Every structure is written in C-alpha cells, then in structure tokens.
Structure 1
Amino acid sequence: MIRTIATALALAIAGPALAQSAAPAPGAAPVAAKVTYIHAGRLLDRPGQPPRGNSTIIVRDGRIAEVRDGFAAPEGGAALIDLKDRFVLPGLIDLHVHLLGIGGDPMRARLLALTNDDADDLLIGISNARVTIDAGFTTIRDPGDDPRSIRALRDAIERGDVAGPTIVNGGLMLSVTGGHGDGSNGVRADVAEMIIQKQEQVCDGAVDCARAVRRQIALGAQVIKFAATGGVLSNVSGGLGRAMTPEEMRAIVETAHGLGRKVAAHSHAADGTKAALIAGVDTIEHGSFLDDEAIRLFKEKGAWLVPTMLAPRAAVAQARGGALPPAVIPKAEEAAAAAFESHKKAIAAGVKIAFGTDTGVSKHGDNAQEFALMVKAGMKPADAIAAATVNAADALGRKGELGSIEPGKWADIIAVSGDPLSDVTRLESVEFVMRRGAVHKAGGKRQGFPPQ
C-alpha cells in the first residue's frame, strides 16, 4: 500500500514535467528523417500478385514511403541497401509461437522447470526472439505465455532495447479445470493445490470464463486464446475431445470481442472446432480432425485455420524418443495421423489459411520449415507465402500495417537468394531482415543491435 501511494504521488508530481519534456522546445530544428533506398532485383511487394522486376523501395522513419520501378539513385544523403541479386518480400508472420522457455527439447525444459522461474524464462525468451527475427519472422503472435514476462519482452522490442519480432501477445490460455492448460494436471496433490490457488486462467462456467478473459486483458493480453479441446502435450489422459461447453466458449468470445480482442481456439476434435466456430472464434489453432460440417462452418463464419503442421511432427518424434510423458504418446500419434489429411481437405475446400507453427513445440528458428509442409498438403508456394504475409496480417486485424510492401506500412522486409515462388524452401535461409526500418541481418549475418 505504501509503495502504491508513493508511486501515485511520484506520477502526480512528475506528470507536468514529463509532459513538458515531451514537447519540442520553441524554435528547435526539426529532426531529419532517416531515409533508406533498397534496390530489389525481384520484388514480391503484394503477395498473391505476380512479383515485380527491378524495383526501389524507399523507407522513411521505419515505414514504406514509396515503391518505384527500376533502380532509383538515393537522394539527399539517403542510405542505400543493394539487394539487386536477391528476391525481396515482406517480413514473415507466424501466428503461433511460444517465445518463453526452451523450445524443441521438452526433457530439458521439464528439468529446468525445477530450478527456473519467470526471470529465467524471460532471458531465454530474449534469445528466442533474436533467433526468430534472424529467421525472417518480423511479427509473431504469442498466444500462451506468462502474461507479465511476454508483455515485458513485447515492450522491450517496441522500445528498441532488444532485437526481436513485433509481438502480438496473449496471456495464459484459458482452460477448464482438468483441461489442456490446467497446470495442476498430473502432479501430486499438495503441489496441485498450490497451483490451483494461483491459476487465474482456469475457469468453469460462462460467468467464470468471462472473468478469466477480463483478467488476461488486464494483464496486457492483445489476443485471447482458449482450449476448446484437450491437448497433445498436457499431462493428462483426457484425450483430444471437446473440453468446454458452448456456453463457456460463447462467453469467452463475446467478452473478448467486446473488449476489442480477437480470439484463438486451440482445437483438435471436430466437435470442439465446430462449437468454437459457432461461438464466433477468429482463428482455429491446429484443427487436427475436420469433417465436412467443420469445413462448411469455417467458410460460413469466415474464420481462419492456423494448421501448425510442424507441431505434430515434432511432438511424435519427441514422444517416441521418450522425451514426453506416457500420457502424451497416444494423443501425439492420433493427432499426427489425422492432421495432415484434415489440412489437405481444408486447403482443397478453400478454407482461409493463415501461417502458424506452434514453435516452442518445435525448435525456435525452424519456423520456415512449415512452408514445405503446406505445399505438400496442396498449397502453391505463392499461397503459402500469402498465408504468412497478407493473410496472417488480416487474421491479426493489422492488414493496414503489415503483410505487404506498400506506402504507409511498416518497413518489414526480407530477402532470399533464388525464387521462393518456385522453391518455397528458399525461405528457410533468409539472408536479409529489416524490421521497421532497422536492419537486423544482412549478407546472411546478424547485425549489431540496437543499430547505430
């Protein structure tokens, strides 16, 4: 209480001074705009449309100012980046990444859980963020991590204190008691009791689930995620069937939408997916078991499928290798067997697809391996790239800022050798990365950060 009062007094006293310091001094010279010209040999400025030939992108103060045909000479002392021999396209967007903690090594993660706390996970998250942007992903949605830590990482990247992608953060995934997301699953009774007392994201009944949404938003969540069904990696043998009632799902969606947040539903079983779609969810994560009715509802509701094809492949390998609890093994095998065929069916039917990997199950930095799986499931390389740019931006509700290289949008730009429209695996080796006008990688090498 004393600290709270002291903080309030300090803010009250400092407020006028802060306001004055934010205003430019009378007669002060305007700060010169930072301008960069990028010469692109081939430019996919608007994924979904044919690429352009020789082009110049003009970046001013972190945003795209202009795109010209040909190689325009820099004016007024502007910097020049030469990518004449490279294929240039918008920064990639991954809608399902868990940045905090060890990724792709569940045995090590479980061992570290005995000694690590949120501070350790945040430091690991800083490293994961750097690896992620090195891979060409300039924006990610993190739909389930410690609320305070992921918010701190998000804000540090926004300030330019650390390198990483733009983060659209959820808080903790909402779950019913005993569902995928209840941290008390599978632990001894006395430990479970301590966990239960601290879990604010576990909810039962519509009213309680509305409360849980509001709590995660109060902690800084920009998107809400809930577990419509059981999950592969939760240490409980509850299967992958529907876990929440339609009333609970509807309460979550209506509350989140009323507070301006989009909603993602973790869902494997078709019954859970259909109930979530009827409730009005914006994206379905995984969608491992899809029937004709589920596909019809996707198209009727205009919802996005985020397939996360990397995740079941990684989970099966880890389960078979003994790195996951015994309760996980049959669920991993079942989901992996069904997911690929479900995704093929959805793609063929014209369901809207947005890119997401569930990285954190798989190794951070391997996100672009998802593209080859999408193409194997029936997508053209151009469509897979669109899923990770314009489509993902649309699914985030940020298509006015992200997803293409057009005037007014953030200068999130990557470059690769070769043609990813012919060989989508080219995106697994990104050579140049710019986020909001700052170069993070050039010539295949990580650049110093913050940039000088």
Structure 2
Amino acid sequence: MTQLLFINAAVLDTVAGTITPGMSVLVDGKLIKAMEKGAIDAPGATVIDLEGRTLMPGLIDCHAHLAVGGMATTALKYPSYIIAQASHWLREMINRGFTTVRDAGGADAGLRQAVEEGLFVGPRMFVSGRMISQTGGHADKRWRAAPTTSEPLVWEQERIADGVPECLKAVRDELRRGADQIKIMASGGVASQGDGIAHLQFSPEELTAMVEETARQGTYVFAHVYTDKGIRRAAEAGIRTVEHGNFLGEETARIMAERGTYLVPTLITYRMDGHYGKSVGFSEASLAKNAEVLEMGTRSLEIAAAAGVKIAYGTDLCFSPKKHQPEEFLVRAEVQKPADIIRSATVIGAEVVRMVDKLGVIKPGAFADLLVIDGNPLEDLKLFQNDGQHMAAIIKEGQFIKNTLAH
C-alpha cells in the first residue's frame, strides 16, 4: 500500500482554529496513519517536503446540487446530458478543494457510485435522491395551469407526497433507491412560482412521520425552510438540519441549539441570483422573493452563532454559476471569523454527513482528504478563491487530484 510522508507542514487544526508549523503527516493508503511534531520514521514512504505550506483537511459543502443547474427544467434535457454536466461540475468542485459534498436533491445513488468507482473524478458524495414536496410546494414544478396528473419527467429531481401514508412511502422509496438522507421542502422558496416564502408546507404529522421513518432506517431528514415559524416547526419535528434559514429569530435559534438542529445557510446563492437572475430566466416574482431573502443578509448567522447553533457550509448554486462556490467564505467573513467559517466547512460539515473523526480533521484514522495551501487561510480566506489557484495540491483518500509540488 502506498505511503506518503508530508514533512515541514504547517498543519491547520480545524477544531482549535490554529496552525502548528514543523509537522509531519504520514498517509497510508486512504487514511492518515500518523501525525507528529518533527520527524516520523517511515522507511519506503514517498517523502514530500511542503516547505512550510499549510496542510488542512478537504472542504465539505453540505448543500450542493450536482444534477440541477440553470433555469431549464430537466424535462428539456436528456438524462445523458444531465450526467455529463454533473461529471463536469464534480471535477470542478474537487479542483476547488471540496473533497466532500452533500447533494441537496436531484443526484441519485448512481452518480455517487460513479465517483466511488472512479468513473468520474469528484468529491465524495452523500446523495438525497428526489426532493419531497407537497402538492403546490416548493418542489412542485408544474405551472398553475398544468393538469393534476402529467407524464413523469425522464429525470425527476422531485416527487410529490400528500398525507402521512404518501410521505412514508416517498421516504421509504427514496431510501430504497439508495439515498443517504432525505431532503424535504418545509416552506415556499424563491424559484417556485406558486408559493410565497412564508408558505408553511407539510403538516406537523407529515413532518414527524418522515423524521421517524428515517430514524428507523438509521438516517435523517433535512429541510428547505426560510421563516422563523417554519424553522421552529422543523426543529420541533426533529428535522436534523435546516437549510437556508434566513429569517431565523433568537428564540427559535435557542430551540435549535437545545435540540441539536444544524443550520446550513446558503448566502452566496442569493447574491449571485440577484446578479444573474434576469439572465438565467428568473420571473419578476422570483426576483422579488430573492431580494426579500437577500435583504436579511448575514443576520441569521449572527443569531445562530450567539445561540450556540452549529453552522455548516452550504452554497445551493442551482441557477447561477457554480464557480462561485468558494465565495460563501467571503460572504460569511462579513460577520464571522475565518476560523469559524473554516470549522463550518470541515468539522461541522463532517458532523452533518455523520463522518466525525473521519472527515474535516487531520488525525490518525481520518481519511486522507487534504489540501496544501500556499499561505495561511486563517488570515486570508481569498486563498480558497479562483478555482484552487492557491492550492498547490489536492488529495482525496490518499490520491492526488492536483499536484504542483516538486518532489
């Protein structure tokens, strides 16, 4: 089994938010075997001198979309095109340093398998299958004049479920099809035409039924939701992670912290959709809703952090170019410290995807998902920008995805 020995590394401790120079890290196959201050005795290992560069864990995006992009619906795209497009985005994401992504709806187990088997180069994937929506909910993509029943799309990003029996069946079926977790729509959204941001979706009984079913199968539900009331309903129903959460209030944040509910803000998408919206086909109604959500800005981050809510990193770039994925770091820097944002994209992300001590850290037994950075990201978050320009090497499970180091 191949061993790599990194020496003269400045190791970024994502938990403590500190950097320790003069470290050695031994990679054995897919895993980190040892980490020591100074030398490690590893005869036969390939030695790579980092010359003081920063060595840190790969990044985790907990709200990405690999099978969704642009305003054109999947009804207008061949499945083969969607897969080809996804392979392109996967390669781009890992070359930005994102070695793990949780797909927030649209990608299925086949795409995950293609990455695992090396058919596509990309991040480790946690897929959600089809997003579950009520009739008239955020993922009901039918226009208002559409018939109640219509021919299924060739590539379905979502499915409709009404009432407890249908919700249970939808959850069970998506898990049968290989989903790692379940994504539901618990409120209205920006891009949908038939609902407002404040529209509360699914009854408490439906929410609870879906949460309990995933728990029985050893997984969890995460929910698209914006308003304070909707967030509270989600947390009280046992939903594990709240996506977006822009209108979060202080009391609801306290409830989230008590229940261990995670927040996954996706602030970059509203800024970019505000910029690109007209050019990608947003309706006037969607542009107005986007402006409403954008106006809340970073306030939800401050409220959540003050209450002790754990905040993960997410981007949700469905319609605007996915190249803006790392710019979420810069948006959050308006109110958060770099160490806290990096922690969101590593340690807390690992908790969300249930890979504690396996992802998001550099320690023995963790996967060797590593970034070699030319500079100190605790001092300059711009080092994550420009498509990995400042990353001298990107490693996933002990294999180089990118390597500009001389050795």
TM-score of Structure 1 vs Structure 2, range by shorter chain:
over 0.9
Determine whether 1:218 maps to 2:176: yes
Q: Residues 150-195 of structure 1, C-alpha deviation per residue, up to 9 Å, x if partnerless?
A: x222112112222100000101111100101112244x52596224
TM-score, normalisation: structure 1: 0.83
Q: SS at the partner of 2:125?
A: strand
Identity %: 33
Q: 1:201 to 1:120 in 2, by over 3 A?
A: same
1:161 aligns to what? Answer: 119
1:67 paired to 2:35? yes
Tell whether the 8 Å contact from 1:368 to 1:427 is kept in structure 2 after alignment.
Answer: yes
Asked if 1:189 is matched to 2:146, the reply is yes
SS state of the match for residue 276, structure 2? helix
State the aligned residue count.
401
Any residues of structure 2 matched to 1:281-296 within 5 Å, and which?
Answer: 281-296=239-254
The match for 1:306 is 264
Q: CA deviation at 1:283?
A: 0.5
Is residue 91 of structure 2 the alignment partner of residue 130 of structure 1?
yes
Pairing 1:261-280 to 2, within 5 Å after superposition = 261-280=219-238
Q: Secondary structure at the match of 1:225?
A: strand
- Of 373, 377, 398 in structure 1, the residue corresponding to residue 355 of structure 2 is 398
Residue aligning to 1:201: 159
Which residue matches 1:417?
374
Structure-1 residue corresponding to 2:26: 58
* 1:322, distance to aligned residue in structure 2 (A): 6.4
CA gap of 1:146–1:34, structure 2 versus 1, over 3 A, is closer
Match of 1:87 in 2: 54
Structure 2 CA distance, aligned partners of 1:380 and 1:290? 20
Measure, in 2, the Cα distance between the counterparts of 1:322 and 1:367: 17
Deviation, structure 1 residue 388? 0.7
Partner of 1:152: 110
Matched residue type, 1:421:
L
329 and 366 in structure 1: CA distance in 2 versus 1, 3 angstrom threshold: closer
**Counterparts of 1:302 and 1:250, CA distance in 2:** 16
SS in 2 for 1:298: helix
Aligned with 1:336 (options 286, 289, 294): 294
The letter for the 2-side match of 1:120 is: Y
SS of 1:295's equivalent? helix
Distance 1:99 1:308 in 2: 16
Change (3 A) 1:114 1:169: closer
Q: Is the 8 A contact 1:56 1:69 kept in 2?
A: yes
Q: Deviations over 1:312-338 (max 9, x none)?
A: 112222335563123312211111112
Over 3 Å counting, the alpha-carbon distance change for 1:200 and 1:404 in structure 2 is: closer
Q: Secondary structure, in 3 states, of the residue corresponding to 1:67?
A: strand
Note the C-alpha offset of 1:366: 2.8
Q: Would you tell me which structure has more helix in proportion to its own residues?
A: 1
- 1:119 alignment partner, one of 57, 76, 80: 80
CA apart distance, 1:341: 1.9
Query: In 1, Cα distance between the equivalents of 2:131 and 2:312?
Result: 20
Task: Summarize the alignment of residues 101-120 of structure 1 with structure 2, pairs less than 5 Å apart.
Answer: 101-102=68-69, 106-107=70-71, 109=72, 113=74, 115-120=76-81
Kept after mapping to 2: 8 A contact 1:201/1:216: no
Q: Which amino acid aligns with 2:15?
A: P
Task: Between 46-55 and 123-132, report the one with greater CA deviation.
Answer: 46-55
Give ranges in structure 1 of 5+ residues lacking alignment. 1-32, 446-452
Contact kept in structure 1, 2:65 and 2:107, CA below 8 Å? no
Q: What is the CA-CA distance between 1:380 and the residue it aligns to?
A: 1.1
The answer (yes or no) to whether the contact 2:22–2:52 under 8 Å persists in 1 is no
1:20 corresponds in structure 2 to none
When the two structures are superposed, what TM-score results if normalisation uses the length of structure 2?
Answer: 0.92
Say whether residues 1:441 and 2:399 are aligned partners.
Answer: no
Mapped partners of 1:339, 1:253: distance in 2: 30
Of residues 332, 337, 341 in structure 2, which corresponds to 1:384? 341
Is the 8 Å Cα contact of residues 57 and 361 (structure 2) preserved in structure 1? yes
Is 2:65 the partner of 1:98? yes
Cα displacement (A) at 1:304: 0.7
Q: State the distance in 1 between where 2:163 and 2:147 align.
A: 25
Return closer, same or farther for 1:101/1:296 CA change in 2, 3 Å cut-off. closer
Q: Distance in 2 between matches of 1:312 and 1:246?
A: 28
Cross-structure match for 1:22: none
Whether the 8 Å contact between 2:359 and 2:366 is mirrored in structure 1 is yes
